[in-house]
Amino acid sequence: MSTAGTSVEALQTIADRVAGLAEPGEQVEAYVSAGTSTDVDAYEGEIEALTQAGSAGIGVRVIKDGRTGFAWATSLDDGIIAETLAEARDNRPYAEPDAWAGMAEPDGVEPVALDVHRPEVLTMPVDDKVAMAIELERMVRDADPRVRGVRSASYHDAEGAFALATSSGIHAGGRTTAAYVSVSALADDGDASVIAGGYSVGRAPSELSLQEAADDAVSRLLAKIGSTKPESGEVTLVLEPRLTSTVLGIISGMLGGEAVAKSRSPFAERMGEQIGSSLLTIVDDPTNPDSPGAEPYDDEGLATRRVPLLKAGVLEGFLHNSYSARRAGTVSTASAARGFSTRPGISARALTVEPGAGDLESLVAKVDNGVLASALGGLHSGVNPVSGDFSVSVEGVRIRDGQRAEPIKEATLASTLQRLLLDISHVGADVEWQPGGTGGVTLLIPGVTLSGR
Amino acid sequence: MIEQPVLERVLHTALSTGGDFAEVFAEDRQNGNGVLDDGRVEQLTSGRDRGAGIRVVVGDTTGFAHTADLSEEGLRTAATAASAAAREGGGGVREIALTRSDVPSPNDVQILPADVAKGDQVEILRRADAAARAAGGEISQVTASIGAGRKRMLVANSDGLFTTDDQVRTFLSVSAVATGDTGMQTGRKSIGHTIGWELFDRIDIEDFAGEAAQQAITKLRARPAPSGELPVVIGAGSGGVLFHEACGHGLEKDLVDKGASVYGGRVGELVASPLVTLVDDGTIAEEWGAFAVDDEGSPARRNVLIEDGILTEYMWDFLRSRKDGRPTSGNGRRQSYKHLPMVRMTNTFLEAGDTDPSAIISGTDHGVYVAKLGGGQVNTASGDFVFGMVEAYLIENGEITEPLREGNLIGNGPQCLRDIEVIGNDFAFGGPGTCGKDGQGVPVGDGCPTLRVGQLTIGGTAA
């Protein structure tokens, strides 16, 4: 593995060359990425597995007469790239004409200068990365006698670059690094066990805190011991910043321009209307260097920008890529997201809630009858972003008269996403950036159905 | 893909600085799929993914490297990296002699996807769209996706094993949105088998798409699901995912060994209702999790995990079985050459019982009938699981009545297994599934007869 890292220039040369092969009347886009990664799993003081790997891929899109063809491959070999372009061309005539199909066009927006590449990921000796995983495992094991074992303790980092070129004049590229440690620990709880995890995320190993990851895992673990199934009833849900981020991620998906254009979002016809609590202002701002999701370009090669979504609960905007923007008669918000093996979709990168007042503790103190959730489960199965139905399993602690009471498990929380947004009664000021790029705050949401005994 | 002498030299390189075991896993995957959305065939996609993963095991440490370069030089570079990652070792040199032994595939592929005209994909998508929209004026949107993938793989290891497999998987899914006074509701059907394009000679595309649409239309008049504990009757077929989550994961030996399973140390004990016999079987022809050999080269097997309520077996991969000094169970699987194998399920199902399914419903005074379960997840340490009810109805006085809106269903695995009150004499496999574990997805099948669980918690809002 080279300590110089992946060369954006080398990838850009490939992308430019492929885009340059466009024939008259044809648009060609090449998205090329490459990178390296290191993964360490520690178990009982030893390395269980150490993976060092490099990988690369290219995705080629061809559009002509409104018809799109796509092909991808996991090799940047000249012969394979030529085959991939040929395959995309071969697929094209089978698609049906779409007047809005097309590549992004240069729009004059300058990318912000963001430093999201840390050479340290490449220069740090592997032994030191291994030592971090082993140390993290030890810290958790030694933290408390009730910790029975560690299911996994891992270090991961990645360095990579992408380049994109289109025959419509887009040239964009960049490189990033990322690193994280994660750990999950076990404790006995009567006949059964409890398990909980913690993590720390950054752009480089030196930005990680083993202590924070270990403390997070151990405190969540110990808090679960003795959990019981609660009685059913209506409660105020307290979402800590981590879980607020998760819920916001689902809601931002409902604000994607493609879901809106294809009538798959309950918010499709609600522009300018009150869809959330007046306390709630949400923006997606990938130009904010504080967000782990900050990036200068989207995946169609447009400069990222600040996108207002909700202002005081009023729906102000949708997220667009160039396709959904053309369809809606507007301009892209540079929210295209993809890997080399998929066509551009739409995703928020750095959602943020405008801070309100108070932190987790001061907001818990305001709740007479509630649940402070520590984990939500079944988000992929019980939450439907088309109908808005929301039903999730919950672990956490009951709150009574502003105080934490007994820990709970084997329960569900239910409402609809539409109601959750409107019912928010307090928005905290405690912004915490999450690995997915979202800045969450503590939220209080009354009127949620808790199902248990 | 790679010649035998090259594999032998690469394994030699992998162990040149010592090590107990080395393995080359190589695969060449070709995928093609088409998507129709919003009344239009939007795009056909072709994908090609080829490469090799090489692991070297020294004591309890595994070193792993992967490469997309299948030349001898590329493979030896990866072998050196894997060996360096495993480190330690005393520097012994081992000659490797491979003996090729292929296992017959349970799957008989008739029509390879590469031999199918691309226009055939388009035609099926169009038919599915038309049929779904014809189901009712309430249908406001339809998405259909069709595709097939071929995975040709080989495994060679320092024990002399050399084997290959050729797996073809073909699928179709249709999702519909219905719009009415109560908002929007969704319906979805999917089918997938480890066979070729002949899949589409066997199903009626119009019926299939119509059912997805009908599911969405029915839900427009659905009432909120109940909140709290109720008896639950699960229909034959997609309920198999319940057992995949409720106990399958907890029987994976890697989780058991790390103390992360409620089923650790319980072989020989009664862990379920005596009605329960649970099987994991990678040899079930054509099912989504069927193959000739697993991703470590071990033949697929039928493994009875729970027999008449008694825990009989865990599932193993190569490393766990070697450590335990027993044969592997054919459950070593990985997402791709870029991933290390681990213990995974194949086709997991509950065997049929002897009760007439209609008697199970008529014998339920008040409860919920789940016709179709969606995805789920489990905390193997506590056994607590959750999954989605995609299509469910209220049971009142022994009869299926109102449709219910979507919600989650939760329970505890060991408790749920004990609470199984009655099992039907019907049986069906469910749709194709992708099981996720530690960030890796692999294709799995599951199945079950109609059955009733004494009580599960329904995560709805209705009192």
A91:B44 CB<8 A: yes
By the 10 Å C-beta count (0-12 exposed, 13-18 middle, 19+ buried), A171 is classed as: middle
Asked if pLDDT for residue B99 goes beyond 90, the answer is no
* 3-class SS of residue B390: strand
To probe the interface with A, which of B29, B33, B43, B319 has the most A CB atoms within 10 Å? B43
**% of chain A beyond a pLDDT of 90:** 93
Cα–Cα dist A411/B9, whole Å: 56
Taking contacts as CB-CB distances below 8 angstroms, the residues of chain A near B408 are: 377-378, 381-382, 391-393, 412
Cα–Cα dist A123/A396, whole Å: 41
Predicted local confidence at residue B298, as pLDDT: 97
A378:B457 CB<8 A: no
Q: What is the DSSP string of A188-233?
A: EETTEEEEEEEEEEESSGGG--HHHHHHHHHHHHHHHTT-BPPPPE
Nearest by CB: B85 against A50, A68, A261: A50
B44:A95 CB<8 A: yes
Tell me: the pLDDT tens digits for B357-409?
A: 999 999 999 999 999 998 888 888 888 999 899 999 999 999 999 999 988 99
Question: What's chain A's average pLDDT?
Answer: 94
Average the pLDDT over B181-203 and give the result: 94
Residue of chain B whose alpha carbon sits nearest to that of A447:
B461
Taking contacts as CB-CB distances below 8 angstroms, the residues of chain A near B376 are: 378, 381
> Can you give the length of chain A in residues?
453
Asked if pLDDT for residue A1 goes beyond 60, the answer is no
Predicted local confidence at residue B89, as pLDDT: 43
ipTM score here?
A: 0.91
Largest CA distance in chain A: 72
Classify the phi-psi angles of B199: left when phi > 0, otherwise alpha if psi is within -120 to 50, otherwise beta. Answer: alpha
Residues 6+ apart with CB under 8 A from B36: B42, B125, B126, B128, B129, B142, B143, B144, B145
- Residue B90: band (very low, low, confident or very high) from pLDDT cuts 50, 70, 90: very low
Asked if pLDDT for residue A248 goes beyond 90, the answer is yes
Asked if pLDDT for residue A401 goes beyond 70, the answer is yes
B406:A391 CB<8 A: yes
Tell me: the pLDDT tens digits for B5-36?
A: 999 999 999 998 888 999 999 999 999 999 99
To probe the interface with A, which of B42, B141, B145, B377 has the most A CB atoms within 10 Å? B42
Is A410 touching B (CB cutoff 8 A)?
A: yes
Asked if pLDDT for residue A189 goes beyond 50, the answer is yes
Cα–Cα dist A22/B41, whole Å: 23
Q: How far is B396 from chain A (nearest CA, A)?
A: 20
Tell me: the pLDDT tens digits for B30-44?
A: 999 999 999 999 999
Asked if pLDDT for residue B92 goes beyond 60, the answer is no
Asked if pLDDT for residue A12 goes beyond 80, the answer is yes
Dig out the tokens for A183 from the structure. Answer: 């750990």
A195:B379 CB<8 A: yes
Q: How far is B427 from chain A (nearest CA, A)?
A: 24
Is A219 touching B (CB cutoff 8 A)?
A: no
Predicted local confidence at residue B207, as pLDDT: 97
The runs of H, that is alpha helices, within A237-305 are 241-254, 257-261
Count of CB atoms situated within 10 Å of the CB of A257: 26
- List the one residue out of B130, B337, B41, B167 whose CA is nearest residue A70: B41
Question: What's chain B's average pLDDT?
Answer: 93
Q: How far is A81 from chain B (nearest CA, A)?
A: 11
Q: How far is B29 from chain A (nearest CA, A)?
A: 10
Asked if pLDDT for residue B272 goes beyond 90, the answer is yes
Q: How far is A98 from chain B (nearest CA, A)?
A: 8
Predicted local confidence at residue B94, as pLDDT: 60
Taking contacts as CB-CB distances below 8 angstroms, the residues of chain A near B50 are: 74-75
**% of chain A beyond a pLDDT of 70:** 99
